[in-house]
Chain A
Amino acid sequence: MSSLTRTGDDRLYWRAQGERNRGLMGLFAVVAAFLALYAYLFPGLLSVAGVSKFAQSWLPLALVAMAQAILMLTGGISLAIGATVSLGAVIAATTMSGYFGVAGGIVAVSASGLAIGALCGVIAIRLRLPAIIVTLAASFIIGGLALLILPRPGGAIPGWFSDLLAGNTPAALGLVFLVALLWKLYLATPLGLSLYAAGENPVGAYRAGVPVDAARIAAYAISGLLSTLAGLFIAAQTGSGDPVIGQAFTLNSIAAAVLGGVGFLGGRGTMRGAIAGSLLLSVMINVMFFLGFPPVAQYVAQGLIIIGAVALPQLTARFRRRP
């Protein structure tokens, strides 16, 4: 975008971005505060190794938060994220040590994620079935597939690949930035541009010639891809595959997206919000661990934080409206 000839467009672009950021400032402040607290409690965080380890515990949650957010932006939702993560993990653990090696494994994981996501999308969108039920049924089918491929934890990931992704390198942090960058590029494609329109006002977008169905099905496919990639990373982290390792991610992905200000009705929210939401959840879990809370106290805190994060803007808005 050349700034000389299209200053008007530029100003509009930044105003739109500013508008989207407005509701997020509070979230960013909370995330920064938690990060500062974490660094204070655990000074080791401020080193290459510390950042690497933290980014590795954060990356899977960031990926599934994005997978859920892209669906919620189009007005959909997925209850199959956890099962898809598991499927990605077992496919990675069974193919990477095989004939086609790591490259073949990455292709297999990506292709299966895209295919499964697209299939869910076609069933939900083309057959006009409610997404929440389709993905609920799909979670059983996908979870079953994972159990068929690997009935019990096993398989293997080549050691060098594990070291590359989950060793003492900040590769995970780089991957977060890479995925965020790819998301920006996707938003500039025709399908990406249709995404917000399809979520905000499907009927209006359809009449204006936006490929609503295609944008939604593409969102499901990308969501499946992100989920299986999260599974791939977890498999690399643990060095093997586990057919039920992803279960907790379904609800956590919704929680992270919601914390990040992504709305259920479509068209509301930003990907940077969802990523910040996942960062908040991740830091919170680590901080509570360092403060010596029992691991389950994180559930209590998570529930309260979600309600607070959603209710506060509502309440302040109402007080502002009523002078």
Chain B
Amino acid sequence: MSQANNSRFPAWSPKALLRNRAFLTVAIVILVWIVAGFAKPGFGSYGHLRYLLELAAVIGLVAIGQTYVVIAGGIDLSVGAIVTVSAVGVPLVALSGDGGGAFAVLIILAAATSIGFLNGLGVAYLRIHPMIMTLAMATFLQGVLILIAGGTAISAQNPLLAWLGNARIIGIPAGVLLWAVVSGAALAVLHATPFGARLYALGANPLASALSGINVQATTMAVYAVSGLTAGLAGVLILGMNGQGYVGIGDPYLLASIAAVVLGGTSILGGSGSYAGTIPGAILLVTITALITVVNASAGWRSILFGSLILLLLLLSGRESQRR
């Protein structure tokens, strides 16, 4: 029993810390912030860092579901479309008797969760490869959204969202607080519940998990539903920060969420990693983007820099060690 405990909570040592990907990513973020703070006046100011965290909160929320799905051995290419569904959908379902705006938000979150659930249904029961299922879902949603919402931006008159996007509690933006709370819950579910343990088992070896009595279908559907829910939350937050939603608003968050997951050390093959690494991964991603914007370069050079930095960071942190 004591041995099992030891393997789960290894004794603290500097070496173990260096091998911990989540810690490594945090260290890289801090290093980049310190260097950039000295090199560029204003970068290290509280206001700027707080702004970076607000941007990271959206990516971080989308990346919760993406981390879950990737750990369970899948991938979700529909998160960008679901973010758009929720950012465009909240103004569309606005009801007259809904003064606080909470009802519209709840409806949309339920809709986002059911879209994720449908993804899970296709993956679990129709046995469609996750990449195909979620890609087809994204294509489908994109068409439906343009048919319903058209090409114009839709403004939201929703007090709850306005508060979420602009309020500061003790100087901390509400969006960042939301991210912190949801992250805490996500980490707890991942590391301290049977559901979290099933995700790792499913990602490591689906056949063995099925044979050892895990309900693979139910777990798969649940994990995609979680992904839909967190993408929906992110869409609500963007709408609050932006004031209006339009078709395509969520597109950048698909690749950003995958990049954050991988930069945080979660294996794209499934079965290992943690959301604890994805959090600094998301912050690292927005920091890189901000640094590139600070460097006064043309659009082409900015794009090249961004791609090269992701490759470089991948070499440092996301290397797949155990193949062949």
Kindly specify which of B50-58, B137-145, B185-193, B196-204 makes contact with the partner chain: B137-145
Task: Indicate whether A143 sits within 8 Å of B126 (C-beta atoms), given known contacts A128-B320, A129-B315, A129-B318.
Answer: no
Contacts of B298 in A (CB 8 A): 147-148, 151
Contacts of A99 in B (CB 8 A): none
One of B258, B307, B315 near A144 (C-beta < 8 A): B307
Is B211 interfacial (CB 8 A cutoff)? no
Q: Is the Cβ of B300 less than 8 Å from the Cβ of A147? A: yes
Q: What CA separation (Å) do A296 and B248 show in the bound complex?
A: 13
Q: What CA separation (Å) do A1 and B303 show in the bound complex?
A: 51
Q: What CA separation (Å) do A258 and B255 show in the bound complex?
A: 21
Contacts of B319 in A (CB 8 A): 127-129
Identity of the chain A residue whose Cβ is nearest the Cβ of B130 in the assembled complex: A264
Is A145 interfacial (CB 8 A cutoff)? yes
Q: Is the Cβ of A297 less than 8 Å from the Cβ of B147? A: yes
Contacts of B268 in A (CB 8 A): 130, 132-133
Q: Is the Cβ of A307 less than 8 Å from the Cβ of B126? A: yes
Task: Indicate whether A254 sits within 8 Å of B147 (C-beta atoms), given known contacts A127-B315, A311-B126.
Answer: no
Q: Is the Cβ of A151 less than 8 Å from the Cβ of B300? A: yes
Is B106 interfacial (CB 8 A cutoff)? no
- Taking the closest CB of chain A, its distance from the CB of B315, in whole angstroms, is 7
Identity of the chain A residue whose Cβ is nearest the Cβ of B313 in the assembled complex: A137
Q: Is the Cβ of B307 less than 8 Å from the Cβ of A141? A: yes
Identity of the chain A residue whose Cβ is nearest the Cβ of B267 in the assembled complex: A130
Is A140 interfacial (CB 8 A cutoff)? yes
Contacts of A209 in B (CB 8 A): none
Is A97 interfacial (CB 8 A cutoff)? no
Specify which of A77, A133, A142 lies most central, judged by the most chain B CB atoms within 10 Å of its CB.
A133
Q: What CA separation (Å) do A133 and B267 show in the bound complex?
A: 11
Contacts of A77 in B (CB 8 A): 131
- Taking the closest CB of chain A, its distance from the CB of B238, in whole angstroms, is 22
Is A30 interfacial (CB 8 A cutoff)? no
Kindly specify which of A21-29, A110-118, A161-169, A298-306 makes contact with the partner chain: A298-306
Is A290 interfacial (CB 8 A cutoff)? no
Q: Is the Cβ of B143 less than 8 Å from the Cβ of A148? A: no
Q: Is the Cβ of A128 less than 8 Å from the Cβ of B311? A: no
Contacts of B320 in A (CB 8 A): 128-130
Identity of the chain A residue whose Cβ is nearest the Cβ of B302 in the assembled complex: A144
Q: What CA separation (Å) do A203 and B310 show in the bound complex?
A: 29
One of B128, B147, B269 near A300 (C-beta < 8 A): B147
Q: Is the Cβ of A147 less than 8 Å from the Cβ of B303? A: yes
Identity of the chain B residue whose Cβ is nearest the Cβ of A308 in the assembled complex: B136
Residues 291-324 (chain B) with a chain A CB within 8 angstroms: 298-308, 310-311, 314-315, 318-321, 323-324
Q: Is the Cβ of A311 less than 8 Å from the Cβ of B122? A: yes
Q: What CA separation (Å) do A203 and B324 show in the bound complex?
A: 6
- Taking the closest CB of chain B, its distance from the CB of A14, in whole angstroms, is 30
8 closest A-B pairs by CB: A303-B140, A299-B143, A140-B307, A144-B303, A147-B300, A144-B304, A300-B143, A141-B307
Can you name 18 extra interface pairs (CB under 8 A) apart from A264-B129, A306-B132, A307-B137?
Answer: A129-B318, A136-B310, A137-B314, A141-B304, A143-B303, A145-B304, A146-B300, A147-B298, A151-B298, A202-B324, A294-B147, A296-B142, A299-B142, A300-B139, A300-B144, A302-B139, A302-B143, A306-B135
Instruction: Give residues in B with beta carbon < 8 Å to A.
Output: 75, 122, 126-129, 131-133, 135-144, 146-147, 255, 258-259, 262, 268-269, 298-308, 310-311, 314-315, 318-321, 323-324
Instruction: Give residues in A with beta carbon < 8 Å to B.
Output: 77, 79, 123, 127-130, 132-134, 136-148, 151, 202-203, 206, 251, 254-255, 258, 263-264, 294, 296-304, 306-307, 310-311, 314-315
Residue pairs across A and B with Cβ atoms less than 8 A apart, 10 shown, are A79-B255, A127-B315, A129-B318, A132-B258, A133-B310, A144-B302, A296-B143, A302-B140, A303-B141, A315-B126
